[in-house]
Amino acid sequence: MKRYSNFILAAVAVLFSVYLCEYLLGRYIVKSLADHYLPPNSVQTHVSPEFTTTYSYNNYAIRGDGYEPGKRYDVMLLGDSFLFGQGVDIDRTLASLLEHDAGLTVLNASEIVTEPPSYFHKLGILDALGFRAGHYVVGIFFGNDFSRIENRNIEHILSYRYDANALEYDLLSFLGLERLRYLVYAAYRNYRGDFHVHKFERKKAFRKDWIEWYTGNNKERTALMYNARFVKRTEAEYLSLTQINEASVRKTAIIINAMDDAIPNDAQLHVLLIPDRHYVKGDLSKKYESFRQLFISRLKSDIDVVDLHGVMSEAMYFPNDGHWNALGHRAVAGYLIGRLVGGKDDVAFGG
């Protein structure tokens, strides 16, 4: 009898420990649409030698007005810091210009330091929440959107299907040990070298200063970001640093094609090809061009490719930060509006 009592006590102790871990994990990870978790409706200020900008986040912790589940939008933007509008006041960003200049309703799900697997992830979550739009605009930045994909497996994220309650954590989630199971799942996928679905995101101490928040208040990294300088590179150095090669280009195209398959049949996918300053400064040539053409050739024929190569100028970028300035956002909006409302390029580009 004593043996059974000891067994029961041991089982209770194990269960208590497991559920205590599950509870405590809630202090460190959380379900989130954004890859970089921020408290909903928070505000940050980003100060650099080139700009001072305030970022206001909505109820889903992405920049812009509140998201209304079930509402049909005209446009969704999916991309990284270019479409997010780093360094630019909200009313001068691409998203706001599409709203104010063309009267379009826009949800901007873009955020800093994200790449196509993250864009696909957000599309899946929003689709499960009932989001619909007539146009989906995906920004592909040639400066880093092909990185960290060459040697990784993408099949799992492409086949994953999201539940309607993808962002909810309730009593059943707790009893099902969702957080603990996610850690095991993520560790397994990382061990295999697979991309995995980010069901939970790491909490980070919120700071009103954007750079301090982004760097985790690391003084050295904060100083480097604040004093960022443009560094000229050869084409070989650039392609190596950005990891643009045949494998990364083909895999990225596969993800974009899967996004086209995932959106509603009556919607249009537009892929915005974004060059960085190395291109607009004329530092890149034949090898880079071959990869750009390979990427375009691998996209499905029904995808609208909006290529900004040869269109952007140095004056449209911050000299050192490297993102579009207000003039750049204005130019891209003018170029894109015709594709969204008229089916052709806007002849007033850059005006």
Largest CA distance in the chain: 87
> What residues form DSSP beta bridges with 43?
56
Residue 70 confidence (pLDDT): 79
Tokens of 140: 């592909």
For residues 177 and 180, what is the distance between their CA atoms, to the nearest angstrom? Answer: 5
- Kindly report, residue by residue over 100-137, the tens digit of the pLDDT: 999 999 999 999 999 999 999 999 999 999 999 999 99
286 burial type by CB count under 10 A (0-12 exposed, 13-18 middle, 19+ buried): exposed
Q: How many residues does the chain have?
A: 351
For residues 325 and 144, what is the distance between their CA atoms, to the nearest angstrom? Answer: 19
Residue 299 confidence (pLDDT): 98
**Running DSSP on this structure, what letter comes out for residue 324?**
B
Q: Which residue has the tokens 């993520």?
A: 186
- Please state, as a whole number, how many other Cβ atoms lie within 10 Å of the Cβ of residue 168: 10
Whether 332 and 63 have beta carbons less than 8 Å apart is answered as no
Rounded to the nearest angstrom, the gap between the alpha carbon of residue 232 and the centroid of all alpha carbons in its chain is 26
Global pTM value: 0.93
Whether 337 and 103 have beta carbons less than 8 Å apart is answered as no
Residue 344 confidence (pLDDT): 41
Q: What values do phi and psi take at 281, rounded to 5?
A: -85, -5
Distances (CA, A) of 10 to 7, 181, 223: 5, 22, 52
Residue 4 confidence (pLDDT): 77
Residue 134 confidence (pLDDT): 96
Q: Which residue has the tokens 């799992």?
A: 156
Give the residue ranges of the chain where pLDDT is below 50.
344-351
Whether 73 and 54 have beta carbons less than 8 Å apart is answered as no
Whether 147 and 115 have beta carbons less than 8 Å apart is answered as yes
Distances (CA, A) of 105 to 75, 94, 168, 226, 330: 6, 12, 26, 34, 17
Residue 2 confidence (pLDDT): 67
> What residues form DSSP beta bridges with 47?
52
Taking the CA atoms of the chain, what radius of gyration do you get in angstroms?
22
Tell me which residue of 18, 141, 11, 129 sits closest to 84, measured CA to CA: 141
| 197-217 CB burial, b ≥16 within 10 A, e <16 | bbbbbeeeeeeeebbbbbbee
Domains plus CATH for the chain? 41-164+229-342 (3.40.50.1110)
Beta-sheet pairing, 72-78 with 52-56: unpaired
Tokens of 281: 């400064």
- Please state, as a whole number, how many other Cβ atoms lie within 10 Å of the Cβ of residue 242: 21
Residue 348 confidence (pLDDT): 36
